[in-house]
Amino acid sequence: MSKVKTTFGRRSFIKSVSIASGGLIIGFNWMACKGPAEEGSEELAMQMPDKWFELNGYLKIGDNGIVTIYSPNPEIGQNVKTSMPMIVAEELDVDWNNVIVEQAPLNTEIFTRQLAGGSQSIRQGWQSLRTAGATARYMLVAAAAKQWDVLQEEITVNNGIIEHAKSGQKIGFGDIAKSAAAIEVPEEVNLKENTDFRIIGTSRKNVDARKIVTGQPLYGLDTHRDGMLIAMVMQPPAFGMEFKNMNAEKAKGLPGITDIFTIDTYPEDMEKEWSDVGSFSKLVVIVGETTWQVMQARKELEVEWDLNPELTKEIEILEKSAGMQDASGLESSDIHNSLMAEAGSKNAEVVRKDGDPEKAFRNAARVIERSYNCPFLAHNCMEPMNFFANVSNGKAELIGPIQTPEYAEKSVQKRLGLDLENIDIQMTRMGGGFGRRLYGHFLVEAAVISEKVGAPIKLVYTREDDMTNGVYRPAYHVTYKAALDANNQLTAFHVNAGGIPESPLFANRFPAGAINNYLAESWVVESNISVGAFRAPRSNFIAGAEQSFLDELAEEMGKDPIEFRLEMLEKAKNKPVGENNDYDPERYAGVLKLARDKSGWNSNSTMARGVSAYYCHNSYVAQILDMTVENNQPLIDKVTCAVDCGIVVNPEAAKNMVEGGTIDGIGHALFSEMTFAEGAPQQSNFDGYRLIRHKEAPKRIDVHFVENGIDPTGLGEPPFPPVQGALANALYKATGKRFYKQPFITGLQGDLKT
């Protein structure tokens, strides 16, 4: 049992009591405890208390023992709305069947990092969520000890029942809640040993599952209010253009249309948050009674757009040191490709250098050099961008799907000049995020539109609006070189990576630290096409490219691809090169060995097999993919996944997340691509932008978690990047052809045409 400081002062730990129902309400700063340096609804069957208290960000206990736990972070399908309350319930020691889970609203005084991104929700909240539950449990036990006049140490808690075995006395949480409210908050509490967990580590159903499958309103698009109007926007047809003028007379006369006007979402004098990434600030807005009426009116609008050659701005990407500079002009994909092919030799900066790689390359018996690239990608969440806004009388009520509500709140404050306490953001469940909803321009647009029309509105993007609006995954290019000596041994490694408009390079990741002579260079090409975080930012390309090159290098050296990686990791463990290696070689090797053993790697197989392993978001994933190719179509039989993400809170949900990330990674590598001609996106819906289909998904995905007992690390993003390398390596085994350019299906179709 470990003892931790609560660090809860009276301001961050709010207690209240209902005289009427005797309920205990405990509000707490879920993120106040700094972590270690490493940094089917049964609800309907429950008998509810007579009264619930409505405060933000708290655990509440009713007089009948029912507990409501609020989940603080946005839910984008990663299942934190189930997993985060599970952590609280574990330390509280309540029966999970007596828990109701609700989404907490934005509350910056009680919560910190109410953000869905970076696979950090469970990792960042782990100790503070546990401490919150343990603190509540302490207060309940202390109240019972005082009432019975016994020692707290003699009291046990089991599933919401407090018991003193010596005297034979028992009491439920609900019966002691009122008294517990009078107990002082302790300075420190004991947390359970991992071996005592009864909720953590067990599979629990998604708390929203019944609502999802029965179509109950959960998503932003479900939001409805009496008197609400529908708003849609028109944006420039190409990046590098802006609004000039319009003729709206015909459209204004159509049934149900209440107004047509222009807005400037982000005026030049407005200070932006990092999340205020939007391609087009000046928009045409159509407001009407129904979505259909607004869509018809939009077709009748006559809008003239003009080139904006002076468009320049700087945007900082989430948790990146790299910035983005917007350049002028109308860009095309062929220009992008030629610029990236040249930029590596002209603009590269040395980011890391170990040993003397130049000398090693000069003295090499052979040099292996390969280049890889990938296109821009659209996020394409199944639920397009939308938000409800009601701005009136100096207050703003905002409801919808957003990954960064705290930053969006600040943006609304700056844009509308409202006080923060008068801005209320309610988070709905999201029909996909993947980084797209980190950038809340659509929320700010909704607020500006509502203020202008003086009525509640729901802003709705069409699929075409969403796909052509930008905030794409950047386009990337990387060249790898390896030097081999006369004995066919690796003597030097060089990676030169960049993109439009950011570099995917992680200079301190494997194989850095495993090679005496190592050189990493980075570069960028400016663009006016807005980009943002895409599931597993930067890793989502560089992992597949790196792992493809390592496979090809292993073949050139006559080595088994897994053994080759393990040899390098053994050196990084025992004789590491450099001091800034940001991975643990032993954990890295562990997932490779687990995937090897579980897949039967060394057994005879009729399938083409590819392996890949990667570290990102503090976790390690290895994947082995088995496939065949028939009529130039890939048929994926099985993917074996080995994952080291520390303690798994909800195993079934974790397995689902690994399966989803694996399918997502395969689909984007095989099929997806955004291209441009004179600044205009060439894909605007799923008839042109290809996603993976059911029949193309793996027939089977086996997921195996490393059980090492360490605190949880990331899981939502780590399974996505490496599978792309496993896919490329398996395709080579199946076709005899190496795949250097995404989407891979283009290479297969090229074979078919010839």
Q: What is the pLDDT of residues 367-383, one digit of tens each?
A: 999 999 999 999 999 99
393, two tokens: 């009388």
pLDDT of residue 51: 38
Residue 38, CA distances (Å) to 35, 115, 506, 618, 713 in order: 8, 20, 19, 10, 10
Report the distance separating Cα 127 and Cα 270, nearest Å. 38
Question: pLDDT-derived band of residue 105, with 50, 70 and 90 as boundaries?
Answer: confident
Mean pLDDT of 715-740: 97
What Rg value do the Cα atoms of the chain yield, rounded?
Answer: 28
- Beta strand pairing status for 99-103 and 155-158? unpaired
The answer to whether 617 and 714 have CB atoms below 8 angstroms apart is: yes
Asked if 157 and 45 touch (Cβ cutoff 8 Å), the reply is: no
User: In whole numbers, what is the pLDDT of the chain averaged over residues?
Assistant: 90
CB 330 within 8 A of CB 238: yes
Residue 61 has phi, psi (to 5 degrees) of: -120, 125
Q: Could you tell me which of 698, 553, 695 has the C-alpha nearest to residue 640? A: 698
| Mean pLDDT across 462-486 | 97
- Confidence (pLDDT) at 1: 74
Neighbours of 430 (CB within 10 A): 25
Supply the pLDDT for residue 8. Answer: 46
* Predicted confidence band of residue 518 (pLDDT cuts 50, 70, 90): very high
Contacts of 609 by beta carbon, 8 Å cutoff, 6+ apart: 599, 601, 624, 625, 626, 627, 729, 730, 733
Please, are residues 284 and 252 in contact by the beta-carbon 8 Å criterion?
no
What is residue 184's predicted lDDT score, i.e. its pLDDT?
A: 85
- Higher-confidence position of 42 and 338: 338
Spatial distance between the Cα atoms of 509 and 349, rounded to a whole number of angstroms: 17
Six-digit token pair at 439? Answer: 């950038």
Q: Once rounded to an integer, what is the mean pLDDT over residues 595-603?
A: 96
Cα→Cα distances 543→234, 343, 550, 579, 718, Å: 37, 21, 11, 22, 10
Mean pLDDT for 483-505 is: 97
The tokens describing 177, both together, are 């809640």
d(Cα 486, Cα 365) in Å, to the nearest integer?
5
Q: How far apart are CA 375 and CA 366, in angstroms?
A: 31
Of the two residues 18 and 260, the one the predictor is more confident about is: 260
Tell me how far the alpha carbon of residue 163 is from its chain's centroid.
42
Amino acid 223: pLDDT? 97
Gap between the Cα atoms of 292 and 362, Å rounded: 67
Alpha-carbon gap, residue 400 to 262, rounded angstroms: 23
Q: What pLDDT, on a 0 to 100 scale, did the predictor assign at position 49?
A: 52
d(CA 619, CA 205): 24
pLDDT at 13: 45
H-helix segments, 116-172:
121-148
The CB-side HSE value for 170 (13 A sphere, CA atoms) comes to 8
Question: Is 715 a residue whose pLDDT tops 50?
Answer: yes
Cα torsion 50, 105, 78, 586: sign: negative
Residue 642 · residue 588 · CB < 8 Å: no
Q: What is the pLDDT of residue 545?
A: 98
What whole-number distance in Å separates Cα of residue 170 and Cα of residue 159? 12
Quick one: pLDDT band at residue 309, thresholds 50, 70, 90?
Answer: low
Residue 54 has a pLDDT of 29
**257 with 487: CB under 8 angstroms?**
no
- CA–CA separation, 339 vs 459, rounded Å? 38
Distance between CA atoms of 240 and 303, rounded to whole angstroms? 16
Alpha carbon distance 519, 354 (integer Å): 7
Within 13 Å, how many C-alpha atoms sit on residue 44's CB side? 6
Residue 178's pLDDT is 81
Query: Confidence band (pLDDT; 50, 70, 90) for 7?
Result: low
Tell me which DSSP letter residue 154 carries. G
CA distances from 496 to 523, 524, 648 (A): 8, 11, 36
Q: Check if the beta carbon of residue 386 is closer than 8 Å to that of residue 459.
A: yes
Average confidence (pLDDT) over 403-431: 97
DSSP string, 163-177: EETTTTEEEEHHHHH
SS3 string, 385-433, reads: CEEEEEEECCEEEEEECCCCHHHHHHHHHHHHCCCHHHEEEEECECCCC
Higher-confidence residue: 165 or 66?
165
Q: How far is CA 491 from CA 356, 509, 577, in A?
A: 10, 18, 13
How many CB atoms within 10 Å of residue 128? 27
Residue 638 has pLDDT above 90, yes or no: yes
pLDDT, tens digit (0-9, with 9 covering 90-100), for 323-365: 334 444 799 999 999 999 999 998 899 999 999 999 999 999 9
Across residues 715-728, what is the average pLDDT? 98
pLDDT of 283 above 80: yes
Continuous segment of H or E residues that includes residue 323: strand 323-325
Using pLDDT thresholds of 50, 70 and 90, give the confidence band for residue 652: very high
Exposure string (b/e) for 268-299, b if CB count within 10 Å is 16 or more? eeeebbbbbbbbbbbbbbbbbeeeebbebbbe
For residue 561, the model assigns a pLDDT of 98
Q: What amino acid is encoded at 593 in this protein?
A: K
Amino acid in the structure at residue 8: F
CA dist list (Å): 587 to 316, 374, 469, 652: 32, 29, 40, 23
Tokens matching residue 371: 């280049």
pLDDT in tens, 180-207: 878 888 889 999 999 999 999 999 999 9
- Average pLDDT over every residue of 383-408: 97
Mean pLDDT for the stretch of residues 538-548 = 98
Rounded CA separation 86/205 (Å):
11
Identify any residues that bridge with 373 across adjacent strands, giving them in sequence order.
477, 741
Contacts for 649 with CB less than 8 Å, ≥ 6 apart: 83, 86, 87, 122, 200, 201, 712
Tokens describing residue 302:
């006559």
* CB contact at 8 A, 486 and 301: no
Query: Which residues on neighbouring strands pair with residue 158, listed in sequence order?
Result: 161
Kindly state the helix (H) or strand (E) to which residue 382 belongs, with its residue range. Answer: none
How many Å apart are CA 623 and CA 643, to the nearest integer?
A: 9
- Predicted TM-score of the model (pTM): 0.92
Task: Give the tens place of pLDDT for each residue, 115-153.
Answer: 999 999 999 999 989 988 998 899 999 999 999 999 999
Written as one string, the DSSP assignment of 168-201 is TEEEEHHHHHHHHTTSPPPSEEEEPPGGG-SSTT
Distance of CA 531 to the CA centre of its chain: 15
Quick one: tokens of 621? 């994933």
The pLDDT score that the predictor gives to residue 65 is 83
User: What domains, with CATH codes, occur in the chain?
Assistant: 2-213 (3.30.365.10), 217-534 (3.30.365.10), 546-754 (3.30.365.10)
Asked if 517 and 493 count as a contact pair (C-beta separation under 8 A), the reply is yes
Q: Is the dihedral of CA 148, 153, 158, 159 positive or negative?
A: positive
